[in-house]
Structure 1
Amino acid sequence: MRFIVLFISSLLLLFGITSCVDPADIVINTSVDVLVVDGTITNLAEPQLIRLNHAQSDRLTGRSGTTPITKASVEVLVDSSEVIVCHETEDGTYQLPADFKAQIGHAYQLRFTLSDGMQYVSTQQIMQPVPPIDRVTARFNATSLPFPLESGGDYRAGHDIFVSWQDPANQQNYYRWEWKLWEKQDWCRSCRQGVYAVNTILPHTYQDKTFYVSGENLFEDCFIPTNYLEAAQPPFHSEQYVYDYPCRTQCWEILHSYAIDTFDDQYSNGRQIQERNVAQIPYYDSTACLVEIRQLSLPKSAHAYFKQFQDQTQNTGGLADTPPSAPVGNIRNKNNPQERIVGFFTASAVSAVRYWLDRKDVKGLPFGDTDPAKRVQQTGSAFFMPSICASPFPNRSTLTLTFGLWVALPGP
């Protein structure tokens, strides 16, 4: 799960802003300037990623942003002896070798050095076993979502996902849940100030002062013309416009869970756990979708951290609530022990189940069909609207480009 998103979206709250104050009356007199680490390795055959980011807020506006930390030296120490080196796959993301899978009962520790020489190390994390998920069920709930899908709106319909499992006896177990959602997407690309081209557009090659001409090499991207002020060039449109393009094959939008859900079996040790609500899947579209539910084990220290973060980001706002503080994780700066670092490195065993959510029990319209502007809906646009916050605007007069086609760029 991209837990980093939840970290950053909550940082301003955690550094002193509480929800019992009218947002219009807030004057931000603090700043966020922290290193954020996101890393949970698992026992599954999947990419094992460590993400390093720098989160900072503008001192004047209070708006927060993140910058990926690049060129770091990142490694995972196994059982205090074996060193596994990570490589940077994209800015700020460091991946362990493709064949690496963590193992239950083994100890893991994160170590990394930044380009400025600062060295960081996590506490050691021992991967705990996780019991398998026995059963997954889903029920439609008109108020499933804890927060409305749209700012200022009140749409909260979705499906509550429940899991059942046998909790092991005679051992303390700590759990966390994540979900991944595959939604059918019929519209795959938007081009601003241009059109989508399958093949390259030949430079400085025009036809009848009206068309651009495509070549034979694949391009598969938006072609945005440059005004060269050439006499033969088609008219250049400076007005703002966006064209949306339908998918040419079956396409799915992949969404990830956005909340933390933890559980301690202190009062249910060894029992059969029946239908615990672990996910709320938004009712974006009336078509069926695929949901993957992941049940993760946690070491005791990791559970304490995630539970604290869960309480501070999801249960605040009452008059009796204690103002939240920044959740400092299990990573320290070896050069400067006073540095506050947000995030947690841990190791989790995973039981994953994929569930086909047919949405046959829904009531009312999906969020994608509740466009307040009442714009004409294009075919297959129900999920496009909530993901882009607009209905698709197709380019009706331009064909998908292939070799040798002449292509006109119409105005908006």
Structure 2
Amino acid sequence: MISQLKIIIRLFLAFFLCLFLPASCIDKLDFVGDTQEGQLVIYGLLTNIVERQVVNVSRTSAFGLGPTGVQNAEVSLLTSSGERYSYILRGIGEYVLEGFGASEDESYAIEVTVDQKVYRSRFEKMPKMLAEDVLSFEFKNEPFRTESPESVFTVYSETTLPSSQDPIYLRWMLEETYIWPLTYLPGTGFPPPPPPPCFISDVIEPNRLNLFDGSSTNTRKGNFVLGKRKVDNSFLYPFFVSVKQLSINREAYEYWGKIRIVVNNRGSLFDTPPAPVFGNISNVEDREETVLGYFEVAKTKVTRIYTTRADVPFYLVDPCQYFPNKPDDSYASECKSCEARAQGRRWTNDAPVWWKFD
């Protein structure tokens, strides 16, 4: 299953040949050399929410292929006061620290040891301010991934910045979660209890980088398109969008901004970068080694919005509607299995604690 952070790792593999870019853009991006197969990629996000904190460690693969997870790393979170917390390997290249939240009074860094080489980020301090997001959505026909009009679901935010004059830099990430009831096939004899429903989650537009520089505007409000996705039968039942607002520091904002420039110029997120953007992680004994990735510490809040079938102005077909005379083996696998429906996305039979709607 591809986690949200694994998808973000691909942002570091988003760059095409820098020679095709204007010279001024090359200077601005601080390109260094060519990316080689096997270079280390480290991405970590630490938030103030007490949750599962994740660091992904991988190596670049051949051109056109995604990174390969590193399984033998030792990953630690360091604090400016001298504490050290160990991450545990939980997936392919995914290292987690359970039940931890960052404090405004501390600075944090990550340390990753791979093949007896030590890599460390700069210490980062969490920003103190957040903005207010008021979410809305819209269903309409418009060109999205094709030139022809499609039925598209769009999420918007009206964002109000804090009254402070201190600079604020924001990034948003979107995740969908929808419920998918499996088809109740009673069979013969005394009917068994109906199967539990599936709760399926995925990132909305993982290739979109939503960034905002609050220091460059005199207005305290902004209206943003945060994400789009094609309308399908996922909207037959309650469909939640969780918007994670990350308040980041100026260096992290500039880093993601440089990546967005290259992505927008060349258009693809899933190719090995021939020329990396500098991050904040390095080999402590060999500063000349190019290490891709970034460790960011973000003050975070989550805002949610949901839709029901009544909100959707398009006709949706339920492929799993039960008919008494329909043979059980004629139902598609997605009607009988959460795993088949999820197709690699994260899923569970347990409703999230926030799964509440009118």
Do Structure 1 and Structure 2 share a fold, with TM-score over 0.5?
A: yes
CA shift, 1:158, in A, is 1.8
Please tell me whether the aligned partners of residues 183 and 254 of structure 1 are also in contact (alpha carbons under 8 angstroms).
yes
- Distance in structure 2 (CA, Å) of the matches to 1:361 and 1:355: 12
CA shift, 1:4, in A, is 3.4
Q: Deviations over 1:105-124 (max 9, x none)?
A: 4211111111x101101111
2:332 equivalent among 360, 376, 392: 392
Q: Name the SS for the 1:345 alignment partner.
A: strand
Unaligned runs of at least 5 residues, structure 2: 22-33, 184-193, 268-272, 323-330, 337-358
CA shift, 1:125, in A, is 0.9
Please state if 1:131 is matched with 2:130: yes
The answer for the alignment partner of 2:305 in structure 1 is 355
CA shift, 1:341, in A, is 1.8
CA shift, 1:86, in A, is 1.8
Q: Name the SS for the 1:301 alignment partner.
A: helix
Please tell me whether the aligned partners of residues 248 and 298 of structure 2 are also in contact (alpha carbons under 8 angstroms).
yes
291-300 vs 330-339, which moves further: 330-339
- Distance in structure 2 (CA, Å) of the matches to 1:282 and 1:6: 21
Q: Name the SS for the 2:212 alignment partner.
A: strand
The answer for the alignment partner of 2:38 in structure 1 is 33
The answer for the alignment partner of 1:283 in structure 2 is 231
Q: Name the SS for the 1:142 alignment partner.
A: strand
Percent pairwise identity: 19
CA shift, 1:169, in A, is 2.3
Q: Name the SS for the 2:99 alignment partner.
A: coil
Q: Deviations over 1:143-170 (max 9, x none)?
A: 374x45xxx9874622232232233321
The answer for the alignment partner of 1:251 in structure 2 is 198
The answer for the alignment partner of 1:329 in structure 2 is 279
Q: Name the SS for the 2:257 alignment partner.
A: helix
Please state if 1:260 is matched with 2:209: yes
Which residue identity is paired with 1:256? V
Q: Deviations over 1:306-335 (max 9, x none)?
A: 111122213436xxxxx9842231111123
TM-score by length of 2: 0.71
TM-score by length of 1: 0.63
The answer for the alignment partner of 2:244 in structure 1 is 294
- Distance in structure 2 (CA, Å) of the matches to 1:350 and 1:394: 35
Please tell me whether the aligned partners of residues 104 and 126 of structure 2 are also in contact (alpha carbons under 8 angstroms).
yes
Which residue identity is paired with 1:102? A
When residues 135 and 331 of structure 1 are mapped into structure 2, their CA distance, relative to the original with a 3 A threshold, is: same
The answer for the alignment partner of 2:108 in structure 1 is 108
- Distance in structure 2 (CA, Å) of the matches to 1:49 and 1:91: 12
- Distance in structure 2 (CA, Å) of the matches to 1:109 and 1:170: 28
Please tell me whether the aligned partners of residues 14 and 263 of structure 2 are also in contact (alpha carbons under 8 angstroms).
no
Q: Deviations over 1:262-292 (max 9, x none)?
A: 11012335x4314322222442334230111
Please state if 1:174 is matched with 2:173: no
Please tell me whether the aligned partners of residues 53 and 68 of structure 1 are also in contact (alpha carbons under 8 angstroms).
yes
Please tell me whether the aligned partners of residues 246 and 299 of structure 2 are also in contact (alpha carbons under 8 angstroms).
yes
- Distance in structure 2 (CA, Å) of the matches to 1:186 and 1:360: 17
1:52-63 aligned at under 5 Å gives the runs: 52-57=57-62, 62-63=63-64
The answer for the alignment partner of 1:342 in structure 2 is 292
CA shift, 1:66, in A, is 2.6
Query: Between Structure 1 and Structure 2, which shows a larger proportion of helix residues?
Result: 2
Please tell me whether the aligned partners of residues 157 and 282 of structure 1 are also in contact (alpha carbons under 8 angstroms).
yes
CA shift, 1:364, in A, is 3.9
1:5 equivalent among 4, 7, 30: 7
When residues 306 and 13 of structure 1 are mapped into structure 2, their CA distance, relative to the original with a 3 A threshold, is: closer
Q: Name the SS for the 1:99 alignment partner.
A: strand
CA shift, 1:349, in A, is 0.7
The answer for the alignment partner of 1:305 in structure 2 is 255
Which residue identity is paired with 1:265? G
- Distance in structure 2 (CA, Å) of the matches to 1:353 and 1:64: 34
When residues 379 and 38 of structure 1 are mapped into structure 2, their CA distance, relative to the original with a 3 A threshold, is: farther
